[in-house]
Structure 1
Amino acid sequence: MAGRQFTVLLAALAVIVIGYNSLFIVKETERAVMLKFGEMVDPDIEVGLGIKMPFVHVVRKFERRILTLDAPTQRFLTIEKKPLDVDFYAKWRVTDTQKFYTATNGEEVRAEGLLAQRINTGLRNKFGERTFHDVVSGERDLLMTELTRDLNLITVAEFGIELVDVRVKRIDLPSQVSQSVFERMKSEREREAREHRSTGRELAEKIRATADRQRTIIAANAYRDAEVIRGEGDAEAARIYASAYNADPEFYAFVRSLTAYKSSFSADGNLLVLDAESEFFRYLKKGSGK
């Protein structure tokens, strides 16, 4: 009785083991291939529950979602032979499981190593065709787009991997050349500053000269207008005086004589020597003034 129970238990255990090794599940986020003694018999197993022959078939699963390759910093040279330390990353995913398994044995680490080699070569070639300015700012986006497009054709054909995107995270100058580049940039900025100051001084001189010329012209025009107005005023005053004096010339002569007397004897001690017959005192000699 005990022997029969052990046999049944052993049979049940064998059924469980065989069933466990016969069934497998492929998730929505996975891709899988089936191998028979190392030979691929199904390069793209459908998602869901599947059956295989225990100890004969082996199911290898790979990630279906987009993966990230974060590569270590590499040094590349520009067309001017300037070294740059470049830190980049890449987005990739498996599209052909048969090629992927054949090229990498289904190992993500090996796949990332192959991708890193291809990307390093591509970046080295792209950087070698461009100047420092183009790589850093001018054509950086275009460079990444071209690199992704060109490398994707290779990775799909050789590894069954779609290269979704390649991006540069950081570009640094090596420490031994950073100081010299900084000094050169500083000198360039100082030169530009001197040019701006020189241009500013030149413009200031032009503006100042224009203002001085305008001031001179305005002052000359004002002086001319003032002289014209003054001349017209003097002429008008002379006309009025003449008109007033012509109304009574004798009275005008009398007033002029009084003014002359006042001016001649305005201070103490003034002495005036004249001929007795002089016309200067003619209004004092005769009461009528004639």
Structure 2
Amino acid sequence: MRKIIIPIVIILIGILFSSVYVVEEGTRGIVLRFNKIIALSEPGLHFKLPGVDNVRIVDAKIQTTGSSNNGVEQKFINREKNYLIVDYFVQWKITNFNRYYETIAGGNSIEDLLMARLNGRLRAEIGKLDINDIINDSNAETKSRNSLMLRVKDALNGKQQKNKDIEGVSSDYQVNQSQIDAENITSMRAFGIEVIDVRIKQIDFPAAVSKSIYDRMSEERKVFARDKRFQGYKKAEEIRAQSKLTATKILSEAEKQARTIRGEGDANAARIYAEAFSKDLEFYNFIRSLKAYEESFKGNDIMVISPDSEFFNYMKLDTNIKSDRK
């Protein structure tokens, strides 16, 4: 009896272990019965029918796939017919595990399907833009790298642009029926995944294109620098002219005040002289004669004046004094 119980217990333990499975956090378990999906297991401990049910563990976290994973450069052509080497990546997650399993069960690779459709959609979008639009990181509605990546992500998710979003946009960006059909073909919803984000990491140009872009940017910077220098010269001239005008006004006002002060000083001096000389008229005449003598006998000037002239009155003073003393 004992020999029979031990094998039975071992068999029961084996059946127990084969009927228990664990789904780790960040993953999901797809339960298959005769290769048909019957349940989706959340993270935790679960049970299954041993020998009948089979569990496939799939990653439910956000996954990242890059264009450089296969080591092949992705070349694109923009609207100016220039070749571009673009390095990009896409983040995605599984939203419908049934459809996802049906896709991979058929021998398809989700990453290969995603990158093929992303590559085609990105190629179509880049073909609509100029180089300046592609390297521009603004938030323009229809152009620039940011809006390009948003349009690609929406197309991969099967979202169609609304008419109100494209009013006033050129015909290159109008969404017609053919574009809607193309977006539906590009959509990854049929495979049970959702694109979270599409990002362009780097854009390189061939040597010839890079040189032309550099030359154009250099010319633009030179024009910008010349404009700034001209504005600087103009501003400097305005400042110098204003400074000269201010200096002229200050000098004029100073000269005006100086003349006014000098005039007032001369008037005060004349008044003081007049008051002083009016007290002794003879002394005033004497001083005036001395000034006249001083001014007249400078240099080698010749004067023809009668000795009896009043001009020599004070020169005769010494003679008069001597005669008076005698």
What TM-score, normalized by structure 2, do the two folds share? 0.70
Is the CA contact 1:31–1:97 (under 8 Å) kept in the aligned structure 2? no
> 1:287 matched to which residue of 2?
321
> 1:114 matched to which residue of 2?
113
**How is 1:73-84 mapped onto 2 (pairs within 5 angstroms)?**
73-84=73-84
Aligned residue pairs total: 274
SS state of the match for residue 44, structure 1?
strand
> 1:217 matched to which residue of 2?
249
Instruction: For structure 2, list consecutive stretches of 5 or more residues without a partner in the other structure.
Output: 140-144, 159-183
| Aligned sequence identity (%) | 36
Deviation (angstroms), 1:181: 0.9
What TM-score, normalized by structure 1, do the two folds share? 0.77
Deviation (angstroms), 1:170: 1.7
> 2:177 matched to which residue of 1?
none
Please give the alpha-carbon distance, in whole angstroms, between the structure 1 residues aligned to 2:21 and 2:82.
Answer: 53
- Taking a change above 3 Å as real, the CA distance of residues 62 and 213 of structure 1, as seen in their structure-2 partners, is same
The letter for the 2-side match of 1:62 is: V
Is the CA contact 2:37–2:98 (under 8 Å) kept in the aligned structure 1? no
**How is 1:64-213 mapped onto 2 (pairs within 5 angstroms)?**
64-72=60-68, 73-105=73-105, 110-136=109-135, 137-139=137-139, 140-153=145-158, 155=187, 157-213=189-245
Is the CA contact 1:30–1:64 (under 8 Å) kept in the aligned structure 2? yes
Q: Show CA shifts across 1:19-54 (max 9, x none).
A: 499536241323324152xx4242535653333453
Please give the alpha-carbon distance, in whole angstroms, between the structure 1 residues aligned to 2:208 and 2:104.
Answer: 39
- Taking a change above 3 Å as real, the CA distance of residues 30 and 45 of structure 1, as seen in their structure-2 partners, is closer
Is the CA contact 1:43–1:97 (under 8 Å) kept in the aligned structure 2? no
The match for 1:277 among 294, 297, 308 is: 308
Deviation (angstroms), 1:177: 1.1
The match for 1:234 among 244, 260, 266 is: 266
Please give the alpha-carbon distance, in whole angstroms, between the structure 1 residues aligned to 2:132 and 2:302.
Answer: 100
Please give the alpha-carbon distance, in whole angstroms, between the structure 2 residues aligned to 1:281 and 1:97.
Answer: 138
SS state of the match for residue 65, structure 1?
coil
Deviation (angstroms), 1:160: 0.7
CA RMSD of aligned residues (A): 3.5
The letter for the 2-side match of 1:89 is: F
- Taking a change above 3 Å as real, the CA distance of residues 71 and 106 of structure 1, as seen in their structure-2 partners, is farther
Instruction: For structure 1, list consecutive stretches of 5 or more residues without a partner in the other structure.
Output: none
Which of structures 1 and 2 has the bigger CA Rg?
1
The match for 1:40 among 29, 36, 59 is: 36
Is the CA contact 2:30–2:37 (under 8 Å) kept in the aligned structure 1? no
Please give the alpha-carbon distance, in whole angstroms, between the structure 2 residues aligned to 1:212 and 1:186.
Answer: 38
Please give the alpha-carbon distance, in whole angstroms, between the structure 2 residues aligned to 1:270 and 1:149.
Answer: 112
Is the CA contact 1:90–1:164 (under 8 Å) kept in the aligned structure 2? yes
Deviation (angstroms), 1:67: 1.9
The letter for the 2-side match of 1:96 is: N
The letter for the 1-side match of 2:131 is: F
